[in-house]
Structure 1
Amino acid sequence: MDEVEVVVAHSERATLRVGDVFLKVDGDRARAGVEARAMALAPVPTPEVLWHRPPVLAIAALPGRALAQLGRPSTASPAAWAAAGAAIRTLHDAPLPPWPGRSADDLAAALDVECAWLVADGVLPRDLVARNRRIAEAALRPWTPVFVHGDLQPSHVFVEGERVTGLIDWSEAARGDALFDLALLTLGHREHLGDVLAGYGSGPDLDRDVIRGWWVLRSLLTVRWLAEHGFDPAAPGCEIDVLRARL
């Protein structure tokens, strides 16, 4: 009999593993539907969808291992990181999904709320938040939307050697800024940004200052959510370390 492994569980969703099958239970039925639709549209390797009966999505396990984990050194080769960059470029060159993503105005409003909370609750010093906010504003500019994964943490990219075997967790996929995907992949692993960009290829909009802005913006926006859902944003190498490192 296969054991049931709880991969992740919090008040919004849970993922269970039974043998080679992952069962994703999402309290937001629309979000689970987006994940299934995004994997069907994406021109990159994704897990096989075995069945989808809201609120549960069953997918097959991927071969290989995660590119990295936030807060831990990556053991993947530079070539594997470059392969991830190439896969992202393939996704970004694909036709747009039919649903929208968050706008720069939406993100700016959310940033106001989260920065105020970080200071009011004493999570971070006021001057640290203010200086990071100025860095984050580089990301809040007009962009040409592309098909973004939307939650492209390195733990969501699976590789075997120098080959990408698949991208998982597509619930945040939408139209968005290409540099956000590149930034999230390298959040906490900035030493691999050059490898990722080498695989992604050249382009007029590959502004490293904007990518740094996204590192900070993502961190500022997620500290409270992580803390409220049982994660530790202050763990070594994670979001609060990212904010301190920018200074």
Structure 2
Amino acid sequence: MSADKKEVKVVVAHQDCATLRVGDVFLKIDADQTRTDVEVEAMALAPLPTPEVLWRKPPVLAIAAVRGTPLARLGEPSTASPTAWAAAGAALRKLHDAPLPPWPGPTVEKVAADLEHECDWLVSNDVLPAELVAHARSVGEVALRPWTPVFIHGDLQVAHVFMENDEVTGVIDWSEAAQGDALFDLAILTHGHQEHLGDVLAGYGADVETDVVRGWWSLRSLLAIRWLLQHGFDPFDPGCEVDVLKTAYASSISR
């Protein structure tokens, strides 16, 4: 391949959308332009470093790559320092202190209805043992309480936070941004990396109900498993969604 010929890399692709990388440009292709509308507006509103929007021609959005490397990967041990995790927490607090975006997010009632539906599916299709699902659901229901809405990212996985020299250089994938529960963002950031919750909270700088964060860990896993299976991902991989549920269940038994 010549030096000036850029390779096309498929970052992620499934029936909902796809992301390609060509050099330092990401091409996000989404048939649902509502998600793209949210992403573009959220990046403009967020008080955090976000990718530069280069151009948009539906169904394609072109954005520039951000500097640095992901904070971690789900299912892999993190090599980031406690300082880096704390910096991510501080950035999240800055987002949560920002003015609300003008569109709402999921309600408690919607999350509860989705939880019931997904738990029934997991058990009736023998995806997970009934006792594991029941335990995870009981843990997760702690998060189903009234919350004061803040500006949330909505999908703040560790792979969406880029770091360099222990500083946040960019936060990507804003299509789920909305008004929502601050503790949901904290849970998604530490999902699969629960041992770093203390570091994140040190940077976040506020009193947090950790039982609610644990509840969101369980809810996130229960609500995501079917979607992951149906879109070519494996929630049974080490350190991923099913492991999160099994670890919490084993911990409760050993007490």
- With the shorter chain as reference, the TM-score category is over 0.9
- The alpha carbon displacement at 1:197 in A equals 0.2
Check if 1:230 corresponds to 2:232.
Answer: yes
Distance in 1 separating the partners of 2:223 and 2:38:
22
Aligned counterparts of 1:55 and 1:33: Cα–Cα separation in 2: 11
Pick aligned residue for 2:43 from 39, 42, 48 = 39
Matches within 5 A, 1:148-187: 148-187=152-191
Task: Tell me the amino acid that sits aligned with residue 229 of structure 2.
Answer: A
Q: CA deviation at 1:52?
A: 1.6
Deviations 1:43-80 (A, max 9, x none): 01101111122211110001100000000000110000
Matched, 1:118 2:105: no
Per-residue CA shift, 1:3-37, capped at 9, x if unaligned? 10000000000000000000000121100110000
RMSD value, Cα? 0.5
Establish whether residue 147 from structure 1 lines up as the match of residue 123 from structure 2. no
- SS of the residue corresponding to residue 220 of structure 2 reads helix
Alpha-carbon distance between aligned partners in 2 of 1:29 and 1:167, rounded to the nearest angstrom: 20
1:144-183, Cα deviation, whole Å (9 max, x unpaired): 0000000000000000021100100000000000000000
- SS where residue 246 of structure 1 aligns? helix
Distance 2:16 2:120 in 1: 24
1:239 and 2:241 are equivalent in the alignment: yes
Instruction: Give aligned pairs, total.
Output: 245
* 2:253 counterpart residue number: none
Q: TM-score normalised to the size of structure 1?
A: 0.98
Q: Which of 207, 210, 228 is the equivalent residue of 2:209? A: 207
Shift of 1:212: 0.1
Amino acid at match of 1:174: A
Give the Cα–Cα distance (whole angstroms) in 1 for the partners of residues 206 and 181 of structure 2: 16
**Is the counterpart of residue 50 in structure 1 residue 85 in structure 2?**
no
Q: Distance in 2 between matches of 1:83 and 1:212?
A: 21
| Structure 1 runs, 4 residues or longer, greater than 2 Å off | none
Q: For 1:135, which of 122, 126, 139 is the aligned residue?
A: 139
